[in-house]
Structure 1
């Protein structure tokens, strides 16, 4: 067999390999050296080696490191995803306790929402004896895994193993580094279905797990001094974000700063991590499969939560930390900031909003990005002068995306001044995308409707504005990307200018309002998760 396969042309081997999975390809490479060389050089094998996803567990990290020592594998690795596992046992415990199970394993807590944000009904069905026995087996296995994970974290085994993996990549891989490092989080409530944090676990558990994955990854990056071009910190993971104070490093840790020097792209989700004050809201934000306490003694009192919330809001590095990080990234070409802002009571609304505005203002004042080509802001509150400074500090900016951005006017300047800069010859923008922009005037948020004459065939500016008004909203003609999406693709379209109107008739219960609320829920994660 080895002799016959060794005589087969490389093109035929490649055709055969296209229909094989990774394990079969590994077996095929063991036939002989000639076949190994042909399979290794094929695009199918390269595709499996370019991007690797590894759980942040000592055994998984060591196994991937061992594979990278094999000839022909390490030379193709370019993109690495580090996934943090969050194991939740409450669902299995409820199956055993109540002899019922969720009707939909992909939505065990019934947290998914329809097009206008309504949550699905809680549906559970009777669990058979075999279902209960299986739940008991899975629960026992999960508890063993949780104990192992806790032990690894306590002694720092996961951090050491990730550092060793980065060292392995730096010394053995052809690129001596990574083109991208992505941080991800998955929730396991049972062993067959992986869930997103938005539907699988309460906020506090998600935040703590995300913080650990981020901290360990940053420590391993610093220790190994590996070169990473693109860093994605949970930007595509719903209801998941890290505190910006995590980016702040002590002044004497120069090595910590140096790791960001060669970074070309940064995508991150941040969160203020404020939990609700009332007992009812605390119960709603707890795990729905957990046994409800008889009283409120198991919950934090409003006074305790208020103290914790104010402490989080008053951490200075929550405003300065991101700017500290950006100040070290002189080569940065792409930046995406997604702010998961969660607040369910009015007592901390004003200081929370002030902190949100200070975050981007401090970045605009202290972190110029001269090489930035692409900027994306999502869920941002910013003053007009800070936004203008942020844009002017990036003279090479080509693409600007803003989704759910609220602007606070100052000194008579508003969105008009921002749009004037965006469409001027001073800027070099060739692509803009806006969706759900707001203007805040005396605690009132007005919906911003952008339009440019001639950008839609057969529709002038006035017609577009009338169509986009709430009272004339048309269910049949939503935009392709969002309910109030506005996009210009070419430089000549940008130079035409952007006009806008403030929608003062923002009606609760309207299609526009429902769509916006549904987007807010998805961006924040479910309020009752």
Structure 2
């Protein structure tokens, strides 16, 4: 059998190797030199394209040694850096000496990767954290755990460590994902999950909508020195940026302190007015980040609204509006191939200005609350010939009317699209519209209506997803 494998052409042996596990490939390579050479093709190398590293001292020490000695540093393309929210790790994060040592090891690893790569460039870096539940690390957290002090502290320190290490190293990055990993994104529930087509044998099952990714408090971006020449050099090659941010940490309270009392409208208005006065004055950190990315082609922004302690009202609208305003006013915005906005609250003028100035070709807007300029202006631009748009996806869009008792009305598309509430009459319309190709240029017909509630399983599942993904329902 061994002699037969030795005489196999390399392309045939590559097919055989593709069917084996990593342990079986290792055993095959140990049999003889000729098979070791023949089985060293793409199938083997792809096992080492991705590297997952925990941001603990022991893990980083081993990673730095491996990178220094060669090994995976010549093959790894996608690096996943995961912080740990375990209590013992939080105590270690807060020790300055240990934190500096951890960052130093990461800088060593980055420099070793840069020295062994063409153009000193890494294909992608993903920053995320693992939340410990009963001693088990999970990459998704429940709402209660997500707003705990340990998780927030871990998120901030993980981000700070990686960004400082990038600034101090020679490594360049093509794709940067900051707490918005698409592999961890929940399945968005649709009617078909509960009322499947009889002709379709496989039915999608929604994930646990009580869990969510952990996002970065926006004020942490203000703590970064965006003028650092080392950081500018590392991000100068960036073509894709995906970031998940949330309400500034100063206004976030633990879930245990949230109260369901005092839900009357005057108290909620009082909370919103207070949060407006307390909003941070500097919301330009995101625009300064984009200024460092002249080659950017793909941009995704996800905003999670954290609740005020003891109030039961969500905040962050003013902060998010200011972020979009600064982005729309930024000089030298890059031209984007794709843009995805999720969970943001913004003025219509700013959203339209950002889309126009970046000349987006593929646009996705999901759970957007718009004030000022209406969606009609956005839709008219997207369907115009001058926009040169090839694809768009609109989902769960709202217009805010502050003077009305019920100040949120939802866009319902007429004649096409998809909906989640199966009991709604067809004339009400659909919440989702997706077009691609020549159909993009057709006029969009829609009307505004109050969000409709119901007690169906589909609606309940959607509401759980909505609260977990964006912080408001």
1:404 is the counterpart of 2:367: yes
Quote the residue 2:171 is aligned against.
Answer: 226
Query: Is 1:324–1:367's contact at 8 Å kept on the other side of the alignment?
Result: no
Greater Cα offset, 398-407 or 79-88? 79-88
Greater Cα offset, 517-526 or 413-422? 517-526
Per the TM alignment, residue 210 of structure 1 is displaced from its structure 2 partner at its CA by: 1.3
Looking at structure 2, the residues matched to 247 and 258 of structure 1 have their Cα atoms a distance apart, in angstroms, of: 18
* 1:117-136 mapped onto 2 (5 Å cutoff): none
Structure 1 residues 151 and 3, CA, compared in 2 at 3 Å: closer, same or farther? farther
Per the TM alignment, residue 392 of structure 1 is displaced from its structure 2 partner at its CA by: 1.2
Q: Could you report, residue by residue, the CA deviation over 1:357-402 in whole angstroms, capped at 9, with x for unpaired residues?
A: 111111111254332111100001111111111111112x111001
Query: Is 2:258–2:311's contact at 8 Å kept on the other side of the alignment?
Result: no
Query: Is 2:301–2:341's contact at 8 Å kept on the other side of the alignment?
Result: yes
TM-score (norm 2): 0.77
Per the TM alignment, residue 190 of structure 1 is displaced from its structure 2 partner at its CA by: 4.3
Looking at structure 2, the residues matched to 244 and 199 of structure 1 have their Cα atoms a distance apart, in angstroms, of: 18
Per the TM alignment, residue 340 of structure 1 is displaced from its structure 2 partner at its CA by: 0.6
Per the TM alignment, residue 267 of structure 1 is displaced from its structure 2 partner at its CA by: 0.4
Structure 1 residues 210 and 346, CA, compared in 2 at 3 Å: closer, same or farther? closer
Structure 1 residues 77 and 54, CA, compared in 2 at 3 Å: closer, same or farther? same
1:487 is the counterpart of 2:434: yes
Query: Is 1:310–1:348's contact at 8 Å kept on the other side of the alignment?
Result: no
* 1:283-362 mapped onto 2 (5 Å cutoff): 313-317=278-282, 319-344=283-308, 352-362=316-326
Per the TM alignment, residue 27 of structure 1 is displaced from its structure 2 partner at its CA by: 5.2
Quote the residue 2:384 is aligned against.
Answer: 424
Q: What is the total number of aligned residue pairs between the two structures?
A: 424
Query: Is 2:259–2:309's contact at 8 Å kept on the other side of the alignment?
Result: no
Looking at structure 1, the residues matched to 345 and 112 of structure 2 have their Cα atoms a distance apart, in angstroms, of: 42
SS in 2 for 1:228: strand
Query: Is 1:239–1:525's contact at 8 Å kept on the other side of the alignment?
Result: no
Structure 1 residues 520 and 153, CA, compared in 2 at 3 Å: closer, same or farther? farther
Per the TM alignment, residue 323 of structure 1 is displaced from its structure 2 partner at its CA by: 1.0
SS in 2 for 1:40: coil
Looking at structure 1, the residues matched to 163 and 365 of structure 2 have their Cα atoms a distance apart, in angstroms, of: 28
Per the TM alignment, residue 26 of structure 1 is displaced from its structure 2 partner at its CA by: 4.2
Query: Is 1:189–1:200's contact at 8 Å kept on the other side of the alignment?
Result: no
Looking at structure 2, the residues matched to 251 and 401 of structure 1 have their Cα atoms a distance apart, in angstroms, of: 28
Structure 1 residues 310 and 161, CA, compared in 2 at 3 Å: closer, same or farther? farther
* 1:29-428 mapped onto 2 (5 Å cutoff): 29-30=29-30, 33-41=33-41, 43-68=42-67, 73-87=72-86, 154-174=98-118, 176-190=120-134, 194=138, 196-198=140-142, 201-203=145-147, 204-236=149-181, 238-248=212-222, 249-250=224-225, 253-272=228-247, 273=249, 274-276=251-253, 280-281=257-258, 313-317=278-282, 319-344=283-308, 352-395=316-359, 397-409=360-372, 413-428=373-388
Structure 1 residues 415 and 259, CA, compared in 2 at 3 Å: closer, same or farther? same
SS in 2 for 1:332: coil
Structure 1 residues 468 and 49, CA, compared in 2 at 3 Å: closer, same or farther? closer
1:517 is the counterpart of 2:463: yes
Quote the residue 2:205 is aligned against.
Answer: none
Looking at structure 2, the residues matched to 58 and 3 of structure 1 have their Cα atoms a distance apart, in angstroms, of: 46
Quote the residue 1:289 is aligned against.
Answer: none
Q: Unpaired segments of 5 or more residues in structure 1?
A: 89-142, 284-305, 457-463
Query: Is 1:49–1:76's contact at 8 Å kept on the other side of the alignment?
Result: yes
Q: Could you report, residue by residue, the CA deviation over 1:20-70 in whole angstroms, capped at 9, with x for unpaired residues?
A: 4334544554555443332322x3211101111111123323333444466
Structure 1 residues 208 and 312, CA, compared in 2 at 3 Å: closer, same or farther? farther
SS in 2 for 1:432: strand
Give RMSD over aligned pairs.
3.8
Q: Could you report, residue by residue, the CA deviation over 1:248-289 in whole angstroms, capped at 9, with x for unpaired residues?
A: 444752333333222111000001133349975289xxxxxx
Per the TM alignment, residue 78 of structure 1 is displaced from its structure 2 partner at its CA by: 1.3
- Higher-Rg structure is 1
Looking at structure 2, the residues matched to 216 and 279 of structure 1 have their Cα atoms a distance apart, in angstroms, of: 29
Looking at structure 2, the residues matched to 152 and 45 of structure 1 have their Cα atoms a distance apart, in angstroms, of: 40
Greater Cα offset, 348-357 or 46-55? 348-357
Quote the residue 2:202 is aligned against.
Answer: none
Q: Could you report, residue by residue, the CA deviation over 1:323-355 in whole angstroms, capped at 9, with x for unpaired residues?
A: 111122221101100001112469796973222
Per the TM alignment, residue 247 of structure 1 is displaced from its structure 2 partner at its CA by: 3.2
TM-score (norm 1): 0.70
Quote the residue 1:103 is aligned against.
Answer: none
Q: Unpaired segments of 5 or more residues in structure 2?
A: 185-211, 261-270
Quote the residue 1:136 is aligned against.
Answer: none
Query: Is 1:183–1:233's contact at 8 Å kept on the other side of the alignment?
Result: yes
Looking at structure 1, the residues matched to 30 and 127 of structure 2 have their Cα atoms a distance apart, in angstroms, of: 33
1:502 is the counterpart of 2:442: no
Match for residue 398 of structure 2 among 438, 445, 456: 438
Query: Is 2:304–2:470's contact at 8 Å kept on the other side of the alignment?
Result: yes
SS in 1 for 2:345: strand
